[in-house]
Amino acid sequence: MSNAPPLNPPVRVLLGPGPSDIHPRVLQAIGKPTVGHLDPYYLQLMDEMREMLRGVFRTKNEMTLAISGTGSAGMETAVVNVIEPGDAMVVCVNGVFGARMTDVAERAGAKVTKVEKPWGEVFSVDDLKDTLSKAKPKVVGIVMAETSTGAWQPIHEIADLVHDAGAMLLVDTVTALGGLPVEVDKWGIDIVYSGTQKCLSCPPGLAPVTFNERAMDVVLSRKTKVQSWYLDLTMLAKYWGAERVYHHTAPINMTYALYEALSLVHEEGLEACFARHALNHEALKAGLAALGIRYAAAEGHRLPMLNAVHIPEGIDDATIRRELLTRFGIEIGGGLGAFKGKVWRIGLMGYGSRENNVLLLLGALEQLFTEQKHKFEHGASIAAATQVYAAATKT
């Protein structure tokens, strides 16, 4: 066997749909000495990390933890623990990840009713009333921040509707957590899952979840075993709780990384973190408008951390993304599903949501658009973005 080449990944500016740029402190944390998964130091770290997770979820839920796996493992955890074969579930689908939740629920044996909206749109109470009345679901699933479309789904009124119908609300906050308020207790969300690689600016590999008492009562009163041994909360609770019963070997160093990432969020302060994401979004939006670029999501429902925008007519999608990567070291995402070849997904998540990244991307786009003979006023995108930043410093 020949020697493998040395590991030398390129330095990128990650402005796609995830993963996001990782803060240097988080990268340092992941390289600290590994201890055992039952070591007293690690067990204490788990408790402290859980408390910080409760802070970003804005909940007092006892069952708040980080699942060993990516955000999709969080989705499976959320679904398979409360769904038993034959249970009715309503899933709201307006993009890729609502469709994925449907697939997960069907694999768990749920009788799924889909409520669908065009990509880029969000759901209102009126969209769900009739379906909830007819389907009488045990669980209603919805995506708060649809990464495939950049659509920001309001949750509060839908939560009230779901509970009035006697169902539990399950919410995907993979892209939302850390970049938008996620008010688990205030809104009465029963089951929530997220991921580490978006606005928390941590490498992918853990999935924060939280279940309220109502949801845990359902989990603990199941008539059948949870479909997944690995994701069974009745066993995971014994490892994360006071008993510390061995379940699996946890990803020790990823826990270090998430601990440090959460520390950074709390040091900045949640409100300041949300304001930073909003400001950089507004600056980018102004700059893109100067280039003739329109958003895919409806006005008033656009995510600050995931900007899904229509590719201007005459601009070659693959060429721009390739040139951004190879010449400028910038990654942005292409469209998925119905938006493939039609939309770019520009992430301003966590540590990546910075003024210098906004201006860097706009400058690179101006250069590439000039080469493709796209008509726009040169320098206009930078000027528009800097005006937004200048106005913010005066307030």
What's the rounded Cα separation, in Å, for the pair 180 and 374? Answer: 34
Strand, coil or helix: what is 352? helix
List Cβ neighbours of 338 (8 Å cut-off, separation of 6 or more): 119
| 250-279: pLDDT as tens digits | 999 999 999 999 999 999 999 999 999 999
What's the rounded Cα separation, in Å, for the pair 201 and 22? Answer: 5
Rounded alpha-carbon distances, angstroms, from residue 100 to 73, 155, 259, 319? 12, 19, 28, 29
395 pLDDT more than 80: no
- Residue 280: enclosing H or E segment and its boundaries? helix 270-290
Strand, coil or helix: what is 155? coil
130 burial (CB, 10 Å; 0-12 / 13-18 / 19+) is exposed
Q: Which CATH code for domain 24-267?
A: 3.40.640.10
Rounded alpha-carbon distances, angstroms, from residue 208 to 26, 50, 174, 312? 17, 9, 9, 37
Is the link from the previous residue into 40 a cis peptide, with omega within 30 of 0?
A: no
What's the rounded Cα separation, in Å, for the pair 353 and 179? Answer: 10
Q: In the predicted model, what is the mean pLDDT of the chain? A: 96
CATH class of 269-394: alpha beta
Task: Tell me which DSSP letter residue 179 carries.
Answer: T
**Residue 243's pLDDT band (cuts 50, 70, 90):** confident
Q: Give the mean model confidence (pLDDT) for residues 158-173.
A: 98
Is this model's pTM higher than 0.85 or not?
Answer: yes
List Cβ neighbours of 3 (8 Å cut-off, separation of 6 or more): none
- The reply to whether 24-267 and 269-394 are identical in fold is no
| Residue 61: per-residue pLDDT | 98
Q: Give the mean model confidence (pLDDT) for residues 366-376.
A: 94
Strand, coil or helix: what is 143? strand
**Residue 2's pLDDT band (cuts 50, 70, 90):** confident
Q: In the chain, what are the domain boundaries?
A: 24-267, 269-394
213 pLDDT more than 90: yes
Taking the chain, what is the end-to-end CA distance rounded to the nearest angstrom? 63
List Cβ neighbours of 159 (8 Å cut-off, separation of 6 or more): 169, 187, 188, 189
| 69-120: pLDDT as tens digits | 999 999 999 999 999 999 999 999 999 999 999 999 999 999 999 999 999 9
**Residue 242's pLDDT band (cuts 50, 70, 90):** confident
1 pLDDT more than 90: no
Q: Residue 96 is which amino acid? A: V
| 282-307: pLDDT as tens digits | 999 999 999 999 999 989 999 999 99
What's the rounded Cα separation, in Å, for the pair 375 and 35? Answer: 58
| Residue 241: per-residue pLDDT | 86
Share of the chain above pLDDT 70, in %: 99
**Residue 48's pLDDT band (cuts 50, 70, 90):** very high
| Residue 394: per-residue pLDDT | 81
Are 12 and 330 contacting, i.e. CB atoms less than 8 angstroms apart?
yes
Instruction: Give one DSSP letter per residue of 233-275, joined into a string.
Output: HHHHHHHHSTT----S---HHHHHHHHHHHHHHHHH-HHHHHH
